[in-house]
Every structure is written in structure tokens, then in C-alpha cells.
């Protein structure tokens, strides 16, 4: 999401991936689509939504830590696939109770809006969650996993004895920029936070990284019964109100898009 209006009121292309391709394959296909947007083979602006397979996405720094192999083994013990993403950050976990949102655009000055995109997308997801009744906000939560200035989080109601509860992280974001295009990828944890918290406890222990497990949660902690489908529908309504959808939203067929760009091609240097 950017604040600028697409040239000539171009439509926003919307695709809902109907099933995970696999942990690594889902991640790789985001880069495949980025190559397609860069070359013009894929439509843009483009939003791709999917419910991921159980995944722990490690950052490049994680992969260089002495405990990385033990952390990978911990992932598998919990039924999560370990992958290493090309973007920065620390380990983050997501699963079918999450919604991954990949937003891609062609942009001749893709690097110029790098920081502004973090702020804009954070605001977008806050809007989506608040519309669903979740009192979300942008900002790093002390002790959160994969810490970031633009994390989306929510406070939780006090415990039965009146004790304040730690805010939980709802969304993490990352970017990939190439010459003439960018990909902004976000994972929103909506339902069933238990498996995410459990795998991260063991992964962060193996990596030797300090964090507060109470920061791992889901939007359903704040609004019981909230589903991934609810958030996906709210996301579309929110996009429809913003400049990215100035030309309307066009639904794309996932099967056709899947084969639109050869996976072996590489992005030009940027």
C-alpha cells in the first residue's frame, strides 16, 4: 500500500491462492511474482493472499548462529518447516491460522519509499484489525519475536485477577526490492496462537535469543471467534477504499497466475 495514486487509475489485481504450495515454495513464489512484475509478465499492482503451511521463517542472521541447526530440528519436532528468507529480521512463525499478504508493484524508484512502505502497511493492517474489533496499533512490543519498529500488535484484556497482560504481536512485515519493482510481504496471525508460541519458545532457546513468549498471540485472543476468512474479507474492503484500488479490484485466477513467470529467471540487479 502506498499513498500515491497508480497512474491512469490502474486496477488492483487480487488473487487468493487456494492452497499452500509448501513452506519454501510459497516463499519462493513471492520472488517469482516479483520477477514477473519487474518484467511485465505479471499484472501489477498485485495482491496475493494465502493461508501458509506451518513455517518458521529465519532471517539471514539467525542462519549464522551456532544454534541454528538445533533450531531447525526444533521446528520439525513441532511440525513446522524451517526456511531462510532473503529479507532481514529474526525468526517468525506462521501456520494455517495466519494470513500471508504479498503486495507487489512496479515502481521506477522502488528504493525511495522503503521506510514509508513499512509505515503505510502498518497503518493499513491496523485499520483492518480495528474494523474487526481488534484494538490494534503500530509499534514494537518489548520482548517480541522478530522485533520491528512497525510491528502491528494489540493489547489484551486484563486477567481475571486484574493483572495486566502483555500486548501480543499480530503482524510482521518484510520487503524485497529490485530494479523497477518491490514486494511487501506480511504475515497476520489470526487464529490458534498456541502452536506458534510453542515452536518459537524452542527455536529462540536454541538460537540463544531472549524474548517474551507472552508476546506471541493472535487476533482471536482479542476477539474470540475471529477467523482468517473474516480478516481476508476485511482486508479486501479496506483496500477497496484506498488509492491502490483507484481503478477498482480485478480478481485473477490463481492457477493461471501460478504459471505466469518462469521460476528459474532471476531479477535484474537493483
Q: What is the model's pLDDT at position 246?
A: 64
DSSP H or E run through 228 = helix 228-240
Phi and psi angles of residue 47, each rounded to the nearest 5 degrees, phi first: -120, 130
pTM of this prediction?
Answer: 0.92
Looking at the predicted structure, is the pLDDT value of residue 5 above 70?
Answer: no
Provide the percentage of residues in the chain whose pLDDT is more than 90. 81
Enter the C-alpha cell of residue 246. 483507484
Q: How far apart are CA 171 and CA 100, in angstroms?
A: 9
Cβ-proximal residues to 128 (8 Å cutoff; 6+ apart), any chain: 231, 234, 235, 238
Domains and CATH numbers, the chain: 7-258 (3.30.930.10)
Phi and psi angles of residue 251, each rounded to the nearest 5 degrees, phi first: -80, 135
Question: How many C-beta atoms lie closer than 10 Å to residue 197's C-beta?
Answer: 18
Looking at the predicted structure, is the pLDDT value of residue 137 above 50?
Answer: yes
Provide the percentage of residues in the chain whose pLDDT is more than 70. 91
**Pairing of the two strands 98-106 and 181-189:** antiparallel
- Summarize the confidence of residues 46-69 as an average pLDDT: 97
Confidence of residue 97 (pLDDT cuts 50, 70, 90): very high
Q: What is the model's pLDDT at position 158?
A: 77
Question: Mean pLDDT in the chain?
Answer: 91
- Summarize the confidence of residues 29-33 as an average pLDDT: 93
Q: How far apart are CA 105 and CA 180, in angstroms?
A: 9
Q: What is the model's pLDDT at position 55?
A: 98
Amino acid at each position: 500500500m502506498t499513498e500515491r495514486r497508480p497512474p491512469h487509475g490502474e486496477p488492483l489485481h487480487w488473487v487468493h491462492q487456494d492452497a499452500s504450495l509448501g513452506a519454501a515454495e510459497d516463499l519462493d513464489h513471492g520472488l517469482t511474482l516479483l520477477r514477473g512484475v519487474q518484467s511485465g509478465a505479471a499484472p501489477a499492482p498485485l495482491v496475493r493472499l494465502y493461508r501458509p503451511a506451518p513455517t518458521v521463517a529465519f532471517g539471514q542472521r539467525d542462519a549464522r548462529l551456532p544454534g541454528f541447526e538445533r533450531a531447525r530440528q526444533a521446528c520439525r519436532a513441532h511440525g513446522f518447516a524451517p526456511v531462510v528468507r532473503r529479507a532481514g529480521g529474526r525468526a517468525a512463525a506462521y501456520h494455517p491460522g495466519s494470513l500471508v499478504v504479498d503486495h507487489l508493484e512496479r515502481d521506477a524508484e522502488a528504493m525511495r519509499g522503503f521506510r514509508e512502505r513499512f509505515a503505510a502497511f502498518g497503518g493499513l493492517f491496523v485499520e483492518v484489525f480495528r474494523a474487526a474489533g481488534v484494538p490494534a496499533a503500530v509499534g514494537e512490543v518489548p520482548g517480541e519475536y522478530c522485533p520491528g519498529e512497525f510491528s502491528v500488535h494489540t493489547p489484551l484484556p486484563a486477567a481475571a485477577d486484574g493483572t495486566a497482560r502483555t500486548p501480543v504481536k499480530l503482524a510482521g512485515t518484510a520487503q524485497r526490492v529490485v530494479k523497477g519493482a518491490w514486494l511487501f510481504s506480511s504475515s497476520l496471525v489470526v487464529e490458534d496462537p498456541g502452536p506458534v508460541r510453542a515452536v518459537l519458545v524452542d527455536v529462540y532457546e536454541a538460537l540463544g535469543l531472549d524474548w517474551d513468549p507472552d508476546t506471541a498471540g493472535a487476533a482471536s485472543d482479542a476477539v474470540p471467534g475471529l477467523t482468517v476468512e473474516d480478516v481476508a474479507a476485511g482486508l479486501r474492503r479496506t483496500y477497496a477504499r484506498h488509492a491502490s484500488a483507484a481503478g477498482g479490484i480485478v480478481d485473477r485466477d490463481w492457477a493461471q497466475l501460478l504459471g505466469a513467470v518462469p521460476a528459474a529467471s532471476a531479477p535484474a540487479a537493483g
